């Protein structure tokens, strides 16, 4: 019968390679100074979906991203690895979206794909770092969610069993479809690109039939709930914090060390 699998992926600045130019003087991120990469945990989400596809004949993997035209790169990389179809959710009116507006747009786009069984996300994006988009998207779709999954243990016609990482161990959870899972980077190592698929897709551009563009109208979203308009988060101030060497203090791992730490935090009014 085959399952319809949707994967949400995000293009992010490579925060592992932050240099002195990473922030502009006004405190905003200098995206030009940071290479854009596939959000690491989203590669694990894609790998999990591709493995489900391989275990259930007739399944299809659809990959969606919301971002600027340059985000076509993560979609091409998804096609190189074996995705069946992709779409770039892009519109100037999506700009400035917080997690509420992002998850709303993604919910509309997922519904646009038609009947879906499993939605895969990364647990967290390395730029915004909130880990809210997956759970909020599931909530808006009105479907089950399993967060922090490292392995899909079993796939059946109408349900799956997943293993989620919890503090000090694992939890085994069963859910019927449709379900959204957020994947950690503890699962199967993501596969590399197929050389044949790279040759097929490397010259494709956003807007070509293989990488369609989905606007607000296309996904049937309410303009008022998208982008800055639909985002209650307001950034008041951004501060660039640079720690100096003298500010580093080693705390002895003993009751006395902790007592001294608590004492100095209370004395300088950090606590209390």
Ligand X SMILES: Cc1cc2nc3c(=O)[nH]c(=O)nc-3n(C[C@H](O)[C@H](O)[C@H](O)COP(=O)(O)OP(=O)(O)OC[C@H]3O[C@@H](n4cnc5c(N)ncnc54)[C@H](O)[C@@H]3O)c2cc1C
Residues 51-80 that bind ligand X (CB under 6 A): 65-67
Q: Quote the least distance from Cβ 255 to ligand X, whole Å.
A: 36
Of 39-47, 185-193, 220-228, 246-254, which segment contacts ligand X by CB under 6 A? 39-47
User: Quick check: 90 and 35 in contact, CB under 8 A?
Assistant: no
Considering the rule CB under 6 A, would residue 233 count as an interface residue with ligand X?
yes
For residue 47, state whether it binds ligand X (rule: CB under 6 A): no
Closer CB to ligand X, 65 or 145, in the complex: 65
User: Residue count at the site for ligand X (CB under 6 A)?
Assistant: 28
DSSP structure string for 45-111: HHHHHHHHHHHSTT-EEEEEEES-GGGHHHHHHHHHHT-SEEEEE--GGGTT--HHHHHHHHHHHHH
Q: Distance between CA 189 and CA 47 in Å, rounded?
A: 8
Burial classification of residue 132, based on how many CB atoms lie within 10 Å of its CB (0-12 exposed, 13-18 middle, 19 or more buried): middle
B/e letters for 138-154, b = 16+ CB within 10 Å, e = fewer, are bebbebbbbbbbbbbee
Residues in 78-137 at the binding interface with ligand X, rule: CB under 6 A: 97-99, 102, 106, 121-122, 124-125, 127-134
Least Å from the CB of residue 192 to ligand X: 20
Nearer CB in complex with ligand X: 236/269: 236
Binding interface with ligand X (CB under 6 A): 8-10, 39, 41-42, 45, 65-67, 97-99, 102, 106, 121-122, 124-125, 127-134, 233
């Amino acid at each position: 019968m085959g399952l319809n699998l949707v994967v949400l992926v995000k293009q992010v600045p490579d925060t592992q390679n932050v240099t002195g130019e990473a922030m502009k003087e006004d405190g905003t991120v200098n995206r030009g100074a940071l290479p854009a990469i596939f959000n690491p945990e989203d590669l694990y989400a894609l790998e999990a979906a591709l493995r489900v596809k391989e275990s259930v004949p007739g399944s299809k993997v659809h990959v969606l991203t919301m971002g600027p035209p340059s985000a076509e790169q993560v979609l091409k990389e998804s096609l190189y690895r074996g995705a069946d179809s992709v779409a770039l959710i892009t519109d100037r009116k999506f700009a400035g979206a917080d997690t509420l507006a992002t998850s709303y747009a993604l919910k509309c786009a997922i519904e646009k794909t038609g009947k879906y069984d499993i939605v895969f996300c990364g647990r967290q994006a390395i730029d915004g770092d909130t880990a809210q988009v997956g759970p909020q998207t599931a909530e808006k779709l009105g479907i089950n969610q399993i967060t922090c999954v490292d392995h899909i243990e079993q796939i059946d016609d109408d349900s799956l069993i997943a293993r989620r990482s919890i503090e000090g161990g694992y939890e085994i959870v069963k859910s019927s479809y449709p379900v959204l899972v957020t994947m950690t980077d503890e699962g199967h190592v993501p596969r590399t690109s197929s050389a044949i698929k790279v040759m097929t897709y490397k010259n494709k551009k956003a807007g070509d039939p293989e990488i369609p563009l989905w606007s607000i109208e296309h996904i049937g979203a309410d303009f008022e709930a998208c982008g800055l308009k639909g985002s209650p988060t307001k950034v008041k101030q951004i501060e660039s914090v640079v720690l100096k060497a003298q500010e580093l203090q080693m705390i002895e791992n003993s009751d006395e060390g902790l007592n001294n730490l608590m004492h100095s935090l209370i004395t300088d009014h950090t606590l209390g």
